[in-house]
């Protein structure tokens, strides 16, 4: 009870019949759905959108749209980063658990596979055969195949070209 209320004040009788309750509920619902001057009007078109046409594509959540080569490269970079993290985490855990592991030895042990993979990749790249070059000409042709070496040195660029 609030301080300003007197104990003798009584509330009016609020008992309503079932019919009155139903009528009041219908009135409240009708008022809620009746548009007023401030209520904006809206229309939703539920017809299905065709799966083809001249509508521009919409960017979907997830990876941004990119070429197949860029997608392959990003997946390769993510896989390499994951592998590097695993190797580094293993080395860190080993040094922490052993409490006397030499960081130089751990670096050699865990860095050796990486150096081996890089050396093999370079070897495979150099082992690829040179492409065959075939020239087919009709008519009189003068074919001049020179090699030009250019070297630029100095603070102020000086280029020298030799044939």
Q: What is the pLDDT of residues 20-74, one digit of tens each?
A: 999 999 998 888 887 777 766 677 778 877 777 777 777 778 777 788 888 888 8
CA 87 to each of CA 81, 83, 84, 147: distance values in angstroms, whole numbers, following the listed order: 10, 6, 5, 46
52 occurs within a structural domain:
no
Percentage of the chain beyond pLDDT 70 is 84
34 occurs within a structural domain:
no
Is residue 162 very low, low, confident or very high in pLDDT (cuts 50, 70, 90)?
low
Query: Structurally, how many domains does the chain consist of?
Result: 1
Round to whole Å and give the CA distance between 148 and 129: 23
Round to whole Å and give the CA distance between 18 and 22: 6
DSSP 52: S
Round to whole Å and give the CA distance between 39 and 94: 67
86 occurs within a structural domain:
yes
Structural domain including 103 reads 69-126
Nearest-5° Cα angle at 118, 117 to 123:
95
Round to whole Å and give the CA distance between 58 and 158: 52
Residue corresponding to tokens 């020179």: 146
pTM for this one? 0.30
154 occurs within a structural domain:
no
């Amino acid at each position: 009870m609030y301080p300003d209320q007197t104990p003798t004040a009584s509330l009016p009788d609020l008992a309503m019949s079932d019919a009155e309750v139903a009528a009041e509920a219908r009135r409240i619902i009708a008022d809620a759905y009746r548009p007023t001057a401030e209520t904006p009007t809206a229309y939703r078109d539920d017809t299905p959108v065709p799966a083809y046409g001249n509508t521009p594509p919409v960017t979907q959540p997830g990876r941004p749209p990119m070429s197949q080569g860029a997608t392959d490269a990003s997946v390769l970079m993510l896989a390499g980063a994951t592998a590097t993290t695993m190797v580094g985490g293993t080395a860190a855990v080993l040094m922490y658990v052993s409490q006397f592991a030499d960081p130089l030895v751990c670096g050699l042990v865990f860095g050796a596979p990486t150096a081996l993979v890089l050396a093999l990749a370079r070897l495979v790249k150099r082992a690829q055969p040179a492409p065959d070059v075939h020239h087919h000409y009709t008519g009189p042709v003068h074919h001049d195949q020179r090699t030009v070496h250019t070297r630029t040195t100095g603070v102020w660029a000086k280029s020298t070209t030799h044939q």
